[in-house]
Amino acid sequence: MHDFHYKGGELFCEEVSIQHIVEQVGTPCYIYSHRTIHRHFHAFDGAFQDIPHIIAYAMKANSNIAILKLLAKEGSGVDIVSGGELFRALKAEVPSNKMVFAGVGKSPEEIRYALESDILMFNVESAGELQQINEVAKSIGLRARVALRINPDIDPQTHPYISTGLKKSKFGIAADQALNEFALASQLSHIEVVGVHCHIGSQLTQVAPFVDAIKKVLHLIQSLKAQGIDIRYMNIGGGLGITYSDETPPHPADLAAAISPLLQTTSCHIIMEPGRSIVGNAGILVTKVLYNKEGANKHFVIVDAAMNDLLRPSLYDAHHDIQPVLKNESAPVNTVDVVGPICESGDFLAKDRKMPQPQSGDLLAVMSAGAYGFTMASNYNSRPKTPEVLIKDDKMMVIRERETYEDLIRGESIPNIFS
């Protein structure tokens, strides 16, 4: 559910017309609905209100500091995966005691930064990382709170690129090695073992994989407590899917109904890391049609947004609905490829898509682009990054300015050997 809707054939975000926004900031641009983000966060928070929990928003989905501030104000924490994300979260005044640091490749510098910021815990992915955290903590006289990430070998039944809980995944510690790794962690001088972490994948559309994974983690927690290792936090990850096309993912309330009976059997504080399910359908990418081109076997609609703005279609062959900003009921329906200006055959937003034939100058809205849109953007082909706009009721706020050509070369220099 989102707050993008038509009034008299014109697409609006909340109470502001998309056409009006484009007149102010141009195209391409990202537009987010404050109301949708607020509602989606509270759908999660409210669904688990009877269980002690922390919602640690997975900020890799959308890390604009205005979005982070919005969520922090509602009581959210964050799941971070880099020093840069930690910096952003602190700038947005997210409480450090609601931050968890995940990722397989934390550097010593990032570990130190997180320790000095007093984050809640690290989600540890390997024995080598555990040793590194211990060494860094020892060097600055602190103890690091950690949860070990367990790979339960559960098939999340999603795209292989975003499946993270199978044996072949780079993430986590194999379940059959978990007891040994926890025993090692509990013996390290500057490590405090406080939790178990499990995240099996992203864009999940069924609750069964969550249930299976949680059962395995609960069994592990019982075994750890029998060995005298007190687990206070159980991190069940995120990954709940959204509707991009015809998916019917469960609502947070459905997920809660399925897993709450299991979670209530433990005394652990529960941590959840939703990202896409909070912001995915809260954002769109607006682009302008440049040209129509007839190929030998295809009709191409060439737009001014590209794979550097929204990578998901090129990377995952992901589907995003594309809607006209101004409906034209008389436009003939055609099967087209919507492609960008980048010099790559993989630069497309949609392939073989049936849609009303747009004309040069028309505006198109690429839907469900609030997650893994701008955060995966690049400057490929030296294209400036798009602006981001947040809409609240009838107010329009530019929360990131469009990059300029000067921004593209900031930090670069020509050495004097060419003088």
- DSSP label of 175: G
Annotation marks residue 268 as catalytic: no
Which whole number is the average pLDDT over 148-177? 61
Strands 363-366 and 322-324: antiparallel
- DSSP label of 403: P
From the candidates 29, 198, 268, 343, give the one annotated as an active-site residue: 343
Strand extents, DSSP E, 144-207: 144-151, 173-174, 191-197
Q: Please, which residues have CB within 8 angstroms of residue 36's CB and are 6 or more apart in sequence?
A: 1, 2, 3, 281, 282
Question: Which CATH superfamily hosts domain 34-277?
Answer: Alanine racemase (3.20.20.10)
pLDDT score for 415: 93
The answer on pLDDT for 159 being more than 60 is no
CA 197 to chain centre: 18
- For 4-31+280-408, the fitting CATH number among 3.40.190.10, 2.40.50.140, 3.30.70.1230, 2.40.37.10 is 2.40.37.10
Residues 314-371 pLDDT 10s = 999 999 999 999 999 999 999 999 999 999 999 999 999 999 999 999 999 999 999 9
| Two structure tokens written together for 396 | 């329009």
Widest CA span in the chain: 72
pLDDT score for 418: 85
The Cα 209–Cα 216 span in angstroms is 11
* Domain boundaries defined on the chain: 4-31+280-408, 34-277
The answer on pLDDT for 206 being more than 80 is yes
Confidence of residue 165 (pLDDT cuts 50, 70, 90): very low
Which position has the token pair 């959840």? 272
**pTM of structure:** 0.93
Burial of 33 from C-beta contacts in 10 A (0-12 / 13-18 / 19+): buried
Residues 5-62 pLDDT 10s = 999 999 999 999 999 999 999 999 999 999 999 999 999 999 999 999 999 999 999 9
Q: Please, which residues have CB within 8 angstroms of residue 411's CB and are 6 or more apart in sequence?
A: none
pLDDT score for 161: 41
Residues 106-138 pLDDT 10s = 999 999 999 999 999 999 998 999 999 999 999
Which whole number is the average pLDDT over 297-313? 97
